């Protein structure tokens, strides 16, 4: 049997209590240090987290604004394209109708005056009245009749394929001026399209 001295047993208990007390203090101290360190880390992290939060919000706002501008820009372009297509269709219809009217127009009176004006323009542009004039089969008689007013001008034996008007060539063959109605319309078309676009507020 263990028959320790009473004093020795008491001393052992005191020692154990002391050791336990020290251990407890060490553990509590370590826990407090860990808590303090965690708290400090958390405090240090807050400004950084706030900064990142603000940056995320700012970037999100910029991205949203960018997407909004892209959507608006795409809508504007689409609307403009539709306007231009509608304008082009309207212009084509107007020209088509005008061409039909010209093709079926009476070749006397005003038309004869138009042919005279065309010949005058051509001689002025070519700088010579020594010219050969070509036209289509339908305008041949009125052109032939009008040419009698221009000395040095003669009618070509060959007809050309056109809506109306004339093609004038200098007799030396060096210069040619296309003054058919077809060519005149093509020259005027961009100007007319621009004028119509301007009236309807559609830019070219």
- Residues 146 and 181 occupy one common structural domain: yes
- Residues 72 and 111 occupy one common structural domain: no
- Residues 94 and 116 occupy one common structural domain: no
Instruction: Tell me whether residue 3 is in a domain.
Output: no
Q: Which pLDDT band, with edges at 50, 70 and 90, does 202 fall under?
A: low
- Residues 113 and 127 occupy one common structural domain: yes
What's the mean per-residue pLDDT of the chain? 86
- Residues 99 and 119 occupy one common structural domain: no
pTM: 0.56
Instruction: Tell me whether residue 2 is in a domain.
Output: no
* Residue for token pair 């961009």: 190
Enumerate the β-bridge partners of residue 177: 168
Beta strand ranges found along 112-202 (DSSP E): 131-134, 153-155, 165-170, 176-180
- Residues 49 and 131 occupy one common structural domain: no
Of 104, 132, 158, the residue that ends a domain is 104
Instruction: Tell me whether residue 161 is in a domain.
Output: yes
Is the pLDDT higher at 141 or at 83?
141
The tens digit of pLDDT for each residue in 21-47 reads 888 888 888 888 888 888 888 888 888
Is the pLDDT higher at 103 or at 54?
54
From residue 42, give the alpha-carbon distance in Å to each of 51, 163, 181: 14, 88, 86
Total domains in the chain come to 2
pLDDT value at residue 45 = 86
CATH number at residue 174: 3.30.2320.30
Instruction: Tell me whether residue 1 is in a domain.
Output: no
For residue 152, give its domain range: 106-200
Q: Which of 9-18, 135-144, 146-155, 166-175 has the lowest mean pLDDT?
A: 9-18
Q: Is it the case that residue 8 has pLDDT exceeding 80?
A: no
- Residues 152 and 70 occupy one common structural domain: no
**Most distant CA pair in the chain: distance in Å?**
160
Q: Is it the case that residue 93 has pLDDT exceeding 60?
A: yes
pLDDT > 90 fraction of the chain, expressed in percent and rounded: 39
Of 77, 104, 131, the residue that ends a domain is 104
- Residues 79 and 164 occupy one common structural domain: no
- Residues 154 and 120 occupy one common structural domain: yes
Of 80, 104, 128, the residue that ends a domain is 104
- Give CA–CA dist 172/174, Å, rounded: 6
- Give CA–CA dist 127/123, Å, rounded: 6
pLDDT value at residue 5 = 66
pLDDT value at residue 2 = 53
pLDDT value at residue 194 = 80
- Residues 46 and 98 occupy one common structural domain: yes
Q: Which pLDDT band, with edges at 50, 70 and 90, does 175 fall under?
A: very high
- Residues 111 and 47 occupy one common structural domain: no
- Residues 174 and 98 occupy one common structural domain: no
Q: Which pLDDT band, with edges at 50, 70 and 90, does 82 fall under?
A: confident
Q: Which letter does DSSP use for residue 131 in this model?
A: E
Is the pLDDT higher at 186 or at 193?
186
């Amino acid at each position: 049997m263990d028959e320790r001295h009473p004093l020795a047993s008491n001393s052992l208990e005191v020692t154990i209590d002391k050791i336990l007390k020290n251990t407890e203090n060490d553990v509590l101290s370590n826990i407090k240090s860990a808590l303090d360190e965690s708290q400090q880390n958390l405090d240090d992290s807050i400004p950084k987290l706030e900064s990142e939060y603000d940056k995320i919000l700012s970037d999100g706002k910029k991205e949203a604004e960018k997407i909004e501008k892209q959507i608006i820009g795409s809508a504007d372009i689409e609307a403009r394209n539709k306007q231009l297509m509608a304008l082009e269709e309207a212009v084509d219809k107007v020209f088509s109708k005008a061409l039909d009217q010209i093709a079926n127009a009476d070749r006397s009176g005003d038309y004869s005056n138009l042919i005279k004006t065309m010949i005058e323009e051509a001689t002025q542009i070519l700088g010579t009245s020594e010219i050969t004039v070509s036209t289509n089969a339908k305008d041949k008689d009125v052109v032939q009749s009008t040419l009698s007013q221009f000395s040095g001008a003669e009618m070509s034996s060959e007809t050309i394929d056109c809506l109306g008007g004339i093609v004038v060539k200098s007799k030396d063959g060096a210069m040619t001026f296309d003054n058919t109605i077809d060519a005149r319309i093509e020259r005027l078309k961009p100007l007319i399209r621009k004028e119509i676009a301007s009236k309807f507020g559609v830019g070219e």
